[in-house]
Chain A
């Protein structure tokens, strides 16, 4: 007890704490911004590479994820260019210079195409969408939103970052060596029998996914413990921002589902290297077992991708319409509900290989997902009703999200229905569906979240007008690219083909034009971000008028996040009771009485 009191005293004056020799954490004692540079380039880089500060790790994740997003995006454009005409392009014309077989011979157009779309899928899923919001925004925001100084295990967080780097490098090395053409799902027996000439590529890519899984587990574990143990005084479970609820639900899925893909990929590697036979029908193994194992992870992981996006959208919609979220508890429980149901639906990826009864059960369970999801969409729309909506770039994106995600969600229903799925599965309809959810949902809200928290992360405002222009370009480009694919799918265009019949040419060309508008939109965003870093005006503490704890810290935050441990006195969305009438974001901070720092 006496230690506890001594510790509390120490909190009043940061400098007392930091003189203790045993405190490896928080080695920097000053109250300056976490971004402030000390020392030369080499020592700064070393300080970042070995940092245990969750904010720096979040920024590094952001940089890595955006770089890989660019790489995966280039692959997607290459796919769209190839599909501009019904036949394959002349061998090697686009990509043959880079993607050569070990022997040096230019691979055939189809093989290149297979590798490029695998590259696109593997990078986007394992390196961009899964780690994107939790690792980049989550790392940065979770402790601050909870009023904590860091995540529960900062060193583990650093380890998790480096594991992510190693995994990504393995994946990229595999691509540079020539890439794999298994698709991101690594289905056996194809993944165990292809590319034997230089078989290490497939092993490398599977190894990359395995290693990235470790990073995901460690981050999820860290977040769960952080939420349980490090909430600020006065913050109960239902005082947490919904972004935290979303990240928490995500982290639970990461912890419970990722180990299964871990063992699956490990067995797949053993299968390739030692031929243990578990997935090999030649000695009695079962390839469908691989699919069960794979989707037991990979369907829940679909919600690892979308749940954090829900969290981001909940924050954006309330803050930019200055209205209390409609149905806070329903939103929190819906996140947990999605996490729970996600473990029961993996079988819908194998309708064709299961019995009728099992298929019907999985189909019914799949429809359950629609309930919590629809609750969320309903609540977002209800929150907007009579709110004072500001059309900032994050809000514009949040509205686009509602539109795109609803299309993505509703088109999931015909795929979960047995009779329609028989016609639609493995067609462009599926491709369009998951792009509406994964890109229209996750990537859109990721970009929206980056805009929303950009002033907090970097202390600079961005150019609102250009950001909105970029958002509109992305919206138009996205719909042009993928809505056409719904039509293509219903007309019978199968996925993963490099060629198609001439009747599909017009729609394919429209889709390709759309992808370039999409590229233009993202280039505008890149320009806006760079312009903001170089010449943006300094951001105030609370540019949007949010009420969660991250808007209480400086922009950018100090090393320890808060000058004093915050004491939570109002909920994250109590705009009606906390904010004076006729407020203006420029008036912030809100009168000090509401934001008294904890006094010990």
Chain B
């Protein structure tokens, strides 16, 4: 308990997680936890279906215009993509570890790992922006008919490749940002001592979300960077 920050807690010194009560339309905390997890799994299903649209578009046009796809892919540097994959995998590990520490009431380790996860997310976005988006954009490799001006493009369908590339990675990056905000929210609650062995719902469901964000990148990375 000594790891908890000093709180002006009027109702005694028990940490918040010990005092947690399920919302009163649930019969028990266990029921509430199960409901929240089921809800998040269903939400993840919707996320998978959302990205399915991008993947189907990728597959259809890859089949129609293999040259454009090979050409476009050759401009992506697998080393930056690979680094970002490692960054996200590490963040998934720290996220899983923070759930573990919440269950064991290691408050300091919980907060530390949540912070590392957020920082990994930030590193992913930073690499994506400075090493990939901005240089490509300024070279004219932009999405679609309005912005694409890459003069050395050999295939007339290459704008389409960049359209898919920016839509897929852009929507994924948006999910990374949303995930980071959610983890930050969990972190702020963890600082106040909301999570512990008998109540870690927030850490668990946000963790599930973060793993999905990671998983989508695991699919995007080889499709865009590795198979030309």
Q: Identify the A interface with B (CB < 8 A).
A: 3-4, 7-8, 10, 17-18, 20-26, 143, 148-150, 152-154, 156, 217, 221-222, 224-225, 228-230, 255-260, 262-264, 266-267, 270-271, 274-278, 280, 282-286, 289, 293
Q: Which residues of B contact A264 (CB under 8 A)?
A: 53
Q: A150-B25, A280-B145 are in contact. Are A263 and B19 (CB under 8 A)?
A: no
CB distance from A145 to the nearest CB of B (A): 15
Query: By the criterion CB–CB under 8 Å, are A23 and B53 in contact?
Result: no
Q: A22-B20, A225-B38, A263-B51 are in contact. Are A3 and B25 (CB under 8 A)?
A: no
From B46, B50, B160, A278 is in contact (CB under 8 Å) with: B160
Q: A7-B22, A259-B49, A278-B163 are in contact. Are A284 and B157 (CB under 8 A)?
A: yes
Query: By the criterion CB–CB under 8 Å, are A21 and B11 in contact?
Result: yes
Q: Identify the B interface with A (CB < 8 A).
A: 11, 19-31, 34-36, 38-39, 42-43, 45-54, 56-57, 60-61, 64-65, 68, 143-147, 156-157, 159-160, 163-164, 166-167, 171
Q: A8-B27, A22-B21, A229-B35 are in contact. Are A275 and B51 (CB under 8 A)?
A: no
Query: By the criterion CB–CB under 8 Å, are A260 and B39 in contact?
Result: no
Cα distance A26–B21 when bound, in Å?
14
Q: Which residues of B contact A221 (CB under 8 A)?
A: 39, 42-43, 46
CB distance from B204 to the nearest CB of A (A): 15
Q: A224-B42, A229-B34, A263-B53 are in contact. Are A7 and B27 (CB under 8 A)?
A: yes
From B11, B27, B53, A267 is in contact (CB under 8 Å) with: B53
Q: A229-B31, A275-B145 are in contact. Are A267 and B167 (CB under 8 A)?
A: yes
Query: By the criterion CB–CB under 8 Å, are A289 and B60 in contact?
Result: yes
A sample of 7 more A-B contacts (CB under 8 A), given A148-B25, A289-B57, is A3-B28, A8-B27, A152-B39, A154-B23, A263-B50, A278-B160, A289-B60
Compute the total of residue contacts between A and B using a CB distance below 8 Å. Answer: 158
Q: Which residues of A contact B61 (CB under 8 A)?
A: 278, 284-286
Cα distance A257–B42 when bound, in Å?
12
Cα distance A1–B39 when bound, in Å?
24
The closest CB in chain B to the CB of A271 belongs to B144
Q: Which residues of B contact A260 (CB under 8 A)?
A: 49-50, 52-53
CB distance from A253 to the nearest CB of B (A): 12
Query: By the criterion CB–CB under 8 Å, are B42 and A225 in contact?
Result: yes
Q: Which residues of B contact A3 (CB under 8 A)?
A: 28-29
CB distance from B200 to the nearest CB of A (A): 15
CB distance from B159 to the nearest CB of A (A): 5
Q: Which residues of B contact A224 (CB under 8 A)?
A: 38, 42
Q: Which residues of B contact A149 (CB under 8 A)?
A: 24-25
Query: By the criterion CB–CB under 8 Å, are A24 and B35 in contact?
Result: no
Q: A275-B146, A283-B160, A284-B157 are in contact. Are A230 and B25 (CB under 8 A)?
A: yes
The closest CB in chain B to the CB of A8 belongs to B27
The closest CB in chain A to the CB of B54 belongs to A263
Q: Which residues of B contact A148 (CB under 8 A)?
A: 25
Q: Which residues of A contact B39 (CB under 8 A)?
A: 152-153, 156, 221-222, 225
Q: Which residues of A contact B56 (CB under 8 A)?
A: 289, 293
Closest 3 CB pairs of A and B: A263-B53, A276-B163, A276-B144
Tell which of B28, B61, B144, B156 has the most Cβ of chain A within 10 Å: B144
Cα distance A464–B44 when bound, in Å?
47
The closest CB in chain B to the CB of A155 belongs to B23
Q: Which residues of B contact A280 (CB under 8 A)?
A: 144-145
Q: Which residues of A contact B47 (CB under 8 A)?
A: 259
Q: Which residues of B contact A275 (CB under 8 A)?
A: 143-147
Q: Which residues of B contact A270 (CB under 8 A)?
A: 143-144, 163, 167
Tell which of B42, B52, B159, B164 has the most Cβ of chain A within 10 Å: B42
The closest CB in chain A to the CB of B157 belongs to A284
Q: Which residues of B contact A222 (CB under 8 A)?
A: 39
CB distance from B123 to the nearest CB of A (A): 27
Q: A260-B52, A267-B53 are in contact. Are A152 and B20 (CB under 8 A)?
A: no
